[in-house]
Every structure is written in structure tokens, then in C-alpha cells.
Amino acid sequence: MKPEQKKAWRQGGLINRLFQVKILAAILIGKTLIGLTRFLGRGGTTLPGRTALLIYPDLITFLSRQLKAGIILVTGTNGKTTTSSLLNDILEARNLEIIHNQSGSNMAWGITSTLVAKTDWSGVLKSDWALLETDEGAFPNLVKTTGPVGVIATNIFRDQLDRYGEIDLIQAAIGRGLENQPAGGFQILNADDPSLVSLTGKTGNQRLTYGLELKQLSATVQNTGRDLKTCPVCKTELTYDRIYFAHLGHYHCSGCSFKRPVPDVLLTAYNPKPDGSAQLEIKIGNDLITLSSPLPGIYNLYNLLAALTCAIALKIPAAQAAKTLEMANPAFGRMEFFTLEGKNLVIALIKNPVGANEVLRTIMAKSADSSLLVAINDKIADGRDVSWLWDVDFEKLVKNQGILPHISVSGLRAWDMAVRFKYAGFDPHKLMIEEKTDRALKYALQETPPGGTLFILPTYTAMLEIRNHLNRMGLGRPYWEER
């Protein structure tokens, strides 16, 4: 809200009432549209918010100010959904009421829809926190309109470049967001990502960082996705003592004084177990805590640390937060597990090379009797440019063709994916190519033997389609009804 509006709001009078009418209209229409889209079974997450903002552009600010404790924004290329979902669990375990944009709708429109859905019909919000995962491009503006108490920035990788131009621009956007945050709050940053650490926020905000303190991870994929090679301060090539994945690691610059800060929260031991879980040891100041994490993959270590560091900034005892984290479930679309007709289904969202390589790495660790369905759409929410498929190590799957006898490709860009597999070394005539996701899903399920596992790797909108099909088969609930 602009200052003059704020004044009018307090003073009452005609202007006040006029705004109130607009707010009520925005809420009414927003809520009606949410009901309608759900009734139609489409789970529309942007249209209601978009319409409500058209009626009353300051609606996000109006709603944000009502939260009892405040807002936390989570941004970054990978790990937003999992991090905010973990943090949600930590806060809910303390009997706090949380608003959380769970289905990954993370631009201004989707966030407005999320907030409007939680108000009563007079536009009153009674929750304690809003925990909002925020698209990097929308981040600076959303910081301005919501005035968050806390922000978390997870990492910056190559992702959906068609929307934001280039990585430099994403970094600049996150930097602007950090500067826009009102003083007195806190910022949680990944110390292992040089592109985040170099960003200066406003003074007056507490800054906490987290990172890994492990020996080099042997299985690390390093060939693609190292998006940042030069020092963000002086442009000299960065020197890495350790790389955990892509450009995340222990770095310093030989040309200036820029180097990885000593993180406030450190992962000091990581012992993965065959079932995908891992035993962790985390150092916070002088305290050492241990926990058993149910989440697979290196990338989830960072997500877990981000959530834990935020809990610490909120003065939640680390041991309590750790207890909640031990019971965490994978977030929406990030490695979800189902069973259907005696077959195992694993859905793992893919959206950029670094994330997709991590997913492939986890799949390759699984046993035989598996089949694979890759569904690539190129709508705005997926990223319209499918070039990134060529930076994913699908070649790795060829070496393990034995454990993946059936591969299907689907989505609007099914044929691009088929060409990708062909050039990775697969025989294209053995691929099942079906643009329609419902038919592809049915076929892939048929081809999966009882007791076997079907891995489904969709982009964002393809994932929504596939979940809808699965819902119709009686699996799970619609995503907008979760929690």
C-alpha cells in the first residue's frame, strides 16, 4: 500500500470505503474463481489471483500485513519447494498456522490465489505465517509488496533462461530483492554458492549462511551445469578446493579477497544408506546435532540445511526442528512415491540440467525392473526453451540400459526428447513416443512389470497433467487439496 492509501485507510471516509469495496470485490471474485476452477477439476492457481490483482493491485500488501507473525519468502533455482515444505513442517509442529503455496505456483498471481484462498469472505486472514516459495524473477517485487521478515535464497543455476534472459540477470534480481527487504529481518543464504554470497543486502538484516563441510563427494557430476566460473566481484577465475555439485563448493578468488564465508550452520558428516535415507551430523556454533534424514540425494542436504538455518533464525531450538525434519515427506513432485496395482511409481520433477542430473543419479541407484517416462512440455511454467535437455546427462542412462527396458517420451516436446535419446545412444525405434500424457502414462504403466518401478520425469505442467490422470485412476488427492 502506498503511504497516502495507508493514511486513508486509517482515517476512514470515502476513499477508505472505496478501497474497501475494491478489496471486497477482489476477494469475492478471487474466491469464486478458485471455487469454480476447482469445481471444473483444473486446479487453476493463477487465474483467480490474476483477476483479483486486476481489481485491486495492492491486494498482496493488504493481505500480507494481516499475518500475525509475518512472511518468509524462499527463492533460488532449485530446492524452493522442498525447503519451504520442510520449513512448513517445522512451523506446523509448533502449532502455528501456516499459509504455504504448495503446488509450486510461485509468481505474483499464484501467490495471490494462495492468500485469497485462505481469507474469509470479508478478506480477513488469521494465519501466523505465510511461507511463500517465490520465482526468482518475481522475487524483487514480491519482497517490496510483502515486506518479508525472512528471506531464503537457495542457489542460482541455469533454469528457464527464456524467461529471464541470463544467469547474470537472475543474480541481479535476487540481489535487488535482498536490498528491498525491510530492516530488522533475516536473510538465509547458501554459503557454498558464490553467486549468492557476493550479493550485498541492506545492513540491519541478520544474515545466516549454511554449507557443507564434507570431503569431496565421490559421485559428484561435474561435467555440466557449472554455471558460474568467474569471481562475481572481480571476474577472475574462481579456485575451488572442493566441489559438491555444479558450482557449489568451497571456493576462493585468487584475484581479490572474495571467498566462501564460514557458514553458521555446517553439515559435518553424511552417511547415505541403501534405502535413500542418510545419517547426518550438523554443527551449529558449538553445538553438534545428529539426525536421520529420509530425503534422498545431495541436493536435499542443502534444502534441509536451509530449513534448519531458518528455524534457528526464528529461535526454534535446533534439536526440535531436527526431530520434525526426520519425519519429512518429499515435497510436491520432488520424488514422490506411490503404489498402483502392485507397481511402484516415482514422480520426480525435472526442470534444469543440475536438478535433472541429480534425479538421474538417484534413479541409477535403484534396482532392476524399472521403466521410465519422460514428459517434456514447453509452456511458460516449464520454460519455453528446451535447449537444457541437451545439457542433461541422459548418456548415463545408456550405460545402464539393462535396468531400464522400457522408455517412453511424452509431452508437447516428446519429439525433441526422442531426438535427445537418439543422440544419447538409444535406438529411437524402441522408444514409445506419444505426445498425449494420458496415453503415454497408460502405456508406461502397462510396460512396468508387477513389483517393478515406473519413474516419471515430467516438467512442471506435464507433472500437473500426469497427477490429474493419476487422480482419475484413484491415486492421491488433487494437488490443490493437499494439507
Partner 1 sequence: MRRKIIIYHLYPGQLNLYGDRGNMLALCRRTEWRSIETEIKMIEPGDKINFNHCDLLFMGGGQDSDQRLVAADLKQRQADLRQAVENGMPVFAVCGSYQLLGTYYVTAGGEKLGGLEILDLHTEAGKKRLIGNAVIRSNLWQPQRTLVGFENHGGKTYLGPSLQPLGKVLIGYGNNGTDKQEGAVYKNVIGTYLHGSLLPKNPWLTDHLIRKALAYRNQETKLQQLDDSTEEKAHLAAIHLAGSRKHKLLSTRA
**Site for partner 1, rule CB under 8 A:** 42, 44-47, 50, 104-105, 110, 158, 161-163, 165-168, 224, 226-227, 229-230, 235, 378-381, 384-391, 412-416, 418-420, 422-423, 428, 435, 460-461, 464
Question: 259: closest CA among 269, 249, 268?
Answer: 249
**Cβ neighbours for 430, distance < 8 A, ≥ 6 positions apart:** 407
**Rounded to whole angstroms, how far apart are CA atoms 302 and 167?**
20
- Measured CA to CA, the distance from residue 87 to residue 324 in angstroms comes to 9
Say how far apart CA 350 and CA 14 lie, in whole Å.
Answer: 51
Stated as kind and residue range, the H or E segment containing 270 is: strand 265-272
Output 35 or 165, the one with its CB closest to partner 1: 165
In the complex, minimum distance from the CB of residue 47 to partner 1, in angstroms, rounded to a whole number: 6
Contact 96, 128 (CB under 8 A): yes
**CA dist., res. 142 & res. 57, Å (int):** 12
When the beta carbons of 197 and 321 are compared against partner 1, the nearer one is 197
Cβ-based neighbours of 45, under 8 Å, separated by 6 or more: 103, 105, 110, 113, 114, 480
Q: How far is the CB of 53 from partner 1 (least distance, A)?
A: 13
Cβ closest to partner 1, residue 40 vs residue 183: 40
C-beta of 380: minimal distance to partner 1 in Å? Answer: 4
User: Can you say whether the dihedral through the CA atoms of 58, 63, 69, 71 is positive or negative?
Assistant: negative
Query: Least distance to partner 1 from the beta carbon of 358, Å?
Result: 18
Q: How far is the CB of 422 from partner 1 (least distance, A)?
A: 5
| Choice between 343 and 351, CB closer to partner 1 | 351
Q: What distance in Å separates the CA atoms of residue 134 and residue 24, rounded to the nearest whole number?
A: 25
In the bound state with partner 1, the residue whose beta carbon lies nearer, of 110 and 201, is 110
Pick between residue 369 and residue 438 the one whose CB is nearest to partner 1. Answer: 438
Nearest alpha carbon to residue 483 among 125, 88, 79: 88
Rounded to the nearest whole angstrom, what is the least distance from the CB of residue 357 to partner 1 in the complex? 12
Q: Which is nearer to partner 1, 192 or 378 (CB)?
A: 378
Smallest distance, Å, CB 58 to partner 1? 22
Q: In the complex, what is the shortest distance from the CB of residue 196 to partner 1, in angstroms, rounded to a whole number? A: 15
Beta-bridged to residue 249, according to DSSP, are: 243
Q: Which is nearer to partner 1, 346 or 464 (CB)?
A: 464
Instruction: At 224, list the grid cell.
Output: 555440466
**With respect to partner 1, which residue has the nearer C-beta, 50 or 439?**
50
What's the rounded Cα separation, in Å, for the pair 408 and 110?
31
Beta-sheet strands, E only, within 349-445: 370-375, 406-410, 432-434
CA distance 437 to 465: 7
Q: How far is the CB of 423 from partner 1 (least distance, A)?
A: 5
Q: Which C-beta is closer to partner 1: that of 110 or that of 185?
A: 110
Smallest separation (angstroms) from partner 1 to the CB of 303: 22
Q: How many CB atoms lie within 10 A of CB 296?
A: 22
Measured from the CB of residue 379, what is the shortest distance to partner 1 in angstroms?
3
CA 234 remoteness from chain centre = 30
Cα–Cα nearest to 103, from 415, 389, 332, 297: 332
- By beta-carbon proximity to partner 1, the closer residue of 46 and 83 is 46
Distance, in Å, from the CA atom of 320 to the CA atom of 218, rounded to the nearest integer, reads: 32
Closer to partner 1 by Cβ: residue 223 or 271 = 223
The distance of closest approach from Cβ of residue 430 to partner 1 in the complex, given in angstroms and rounded to an integer, is 11
**Residue among 40, 179, 146, 3 at smallest CA distance from 478:** 40
Q: How far is the CB of 192 from partner 1 (least distance, A)?
A: 20
CB burial string 250-277: b at 16+ within 10 A, e below: bbebeeeebbbeebbbbbeebebeeebe
Q: Which is nearer to partner 1, 131 or 409 (CB)?
A: 409
How far, in Å, are 164, 242, 322, 465 from residue 29 at the CA level?
Answer: 31, 53, 41, 26
Q: Which of these, 217, 226, 260, 223, lies nearest to 246 by C-alpha position?
A: 226
